[in-house]
Amino acid sequence: MANNSNPRRGRVVVLSIAILLSLAGWEIFGRISTAVKINPLRFLAAAWTLATRPTVEEMKNTAYRPLPYVMYGLKPNWVRRDQKTKDGTVLIKSSNSLGFRGREVEQPKPAGRYRIICLGGSTTYSDTVSDDDAYPTLLEKELRKGRPRRDIEVINAGVPSYTTAETINNLAFRCIDLKPDAIVVYEGINDYRTRIYKNFDSAYFHYRKIWNGSTEGWETGEGDMLGGINSLVEHKSPPDNGDSDANARRAGTWAFRRNLMSIAGIANVHGIKVVFVSSVCASDSKDYAGGGFVKGIEEENQVVREVAAQEHALFIDLAAVYSRTGMFEDIVHMNKSGSLQMAKYIAIDLLKSLF
């Protein structure tokens, strides 16, 4: 991770002193005036947000850019080599000139090439491993191994934090032109997160901010900007959000179902084969958020299964066969071993059904 700690620490110290002096002045002014209506807690929250907001350098180093219709995406020709995993492994993350993870994509597609595009969020992007260990990259190797005489290509079109709402447009406006023969859709985890808000909106407007590439909408949140984009593109849940499990039950899965059907519909009219894959999480995730998260993912997986049957798509039940122990870097993101296992299981079914 890039070393931006000293400038940020200096800003925090300076702002802390300024805040103390301002509060002292506020107190004195408050004793002689009844006009001051600002809540001190809101003032402190705003000051802390300013102190922890990403620096200019962090924004330059981040992998993301705002994009019309898909909200945001990966910067073209971007490389980062300094983020580390739990065991100290240095990650290499890059995007090509089209803004997809990994090597360049040949355009137009060479004659005879079978092109597969993997769609989804950070678990498709494979956020906790290097380019060469991302599951779509390993999937291509497994497929080529199984069909050595075929020209098979797998493109990683996953973008961290994408829900099906972004994936619909990612497919329609960015991936169709690459002339894929098939798409592999691995979705459900981020869509479940939209359901735990009490102010759920089926268009996910309650969840997704509008981001213009600046730090204007920054809210102190998950991690730092070098590790993710959530704090710029996701609304935090309301302070009186209540019970997340109850919110998820009330929101239901119908919006997720609608979006999956739309993805399948777009692919079908373009003659693209659709493959849906069920989502998996770590073996210790039952302790996460009181177990509601696990139940929520199971509900999303059932929707994936039903939509696949309805749309005559291939369904790969990864959740039913995946060995979870020792395969994850966190609750949902796989390590190198987990990414390889995912690629192998998906490859088995694709080799049976697509080739």
- For residues 28 and 80, membership in a common domain is answered with no
Q: For position 303, which CATH number holds?
A: 3.40.50.1110
Measured CA distances, 57 to 215, 218, 260, 265 (Å):
12, 15, 38, 42
- For residues 323 and 195, membership in a common domain is answered with yes
- For residues 44 and 92, membership in a common domain is answered with no
Q: Low-confidence residues of the chain, pLDDT below 70? A: 1-51, 220-228, 289
- What is d(CA 143, CA 135) in angstroms, rounded to the nearest whole number? 12
Residue 41: give the domain boundaries.
Answer: 5-52
Going by C-alpha positions, the residue among 157, 146, 148 that lies closest to residue 182 is 157
Q: Per the domain annotation, does 58 fall within a domain?
A: no
What residues are paired with 184 via a beta bridge? Answer: 118, 275
- For residues 39 and 137, membership in a common domain is answered with no
Q: What is the CA radius of gyration of the chain?
A: 22
Rounded to the nearest 10 degrees, the angle between the axes of helix 254-269 and helix 292-310 is 40
- For residues 83 and 209, membership in a common domain is answered with yes
- For residues 155 and 297, membership in a common domain is answered with yes
Q: Which helix (H) or strand (E) holds 304?
A: helix 292-310
- For residues 14 and 139, membership in a common domain is answered with no
Dihedral angle, C-alpha 268, 271, 277, 279, nearest 10 °: -60
Q: Per the domain annotation, does 124 fall within a domain?
A: yes
- For residues 236 and 297, membership in a common domain is answered with yes
- What is d(CA 59, CA 61) in angstroms, rounded to the nearest whole number? 5
Q: Per the domain annotation, does 303 fall within a domain?
A: yes
- For residues 123 and 200, membership in a common domain is answered with yes
Q: Per the domain annotation, does 57 fall within a domain?
A: no
Rounded to the nearest 10 degrees, the angle between the axes of helix 5-32 and helix 40-52 is 160
Q: Would you state the pLDDT for residue 231?
A: 85
Q: Per the domain annotation, does 13 fall within a domain?
A: yes
Tracing tokens 């993805």 back to the chain, one arrives at 263
Measured CA distances, 123 to 88, 162, 189, 270 (Å):
20, 10, 9, 26
State the amino acid at position 154 in one-letter form.
V
Q: Per the domain annotation, does 93 fall within a domain?
A: yes
Measured CA distances, 129 to 9, 87, 327, 338 (Å):
29, 12, 12, 10
- For residues 166 and 215, membership in a common domain is answered with yes
The tally of domains found in the chain comes to 2
Going by C-alpha positions, the residue among 246, 218, 221, 242 that lies closest to residue 232 is 218
Q: Per the domain annotation, does 219 fall within a domain?
A: yes
Annotate 21-73 with DSSP letters as a single string.
Answer: HHHHHHHHHHHH-S-----HHHHHHHHHHHHHSPPHHHHHHSSEEEETTTEEE
Tracing tokens 């999480």 back to the chain, one arrives at 281
- For residues 115 and 191, membership in a common domain is answered with yes
Q: Would you state the pLDDT for residue 114?
A: 98
For 87-96, the pLDDT digits (tens) are 888 899 999 9
Q: Which helix (H) or strand (E) holds 186?
A: strand 182-186
Q: Would you state the pLDDT for residue 53?
A: 76
- For residues 78 and 156, membership in a common domain is answered with yes
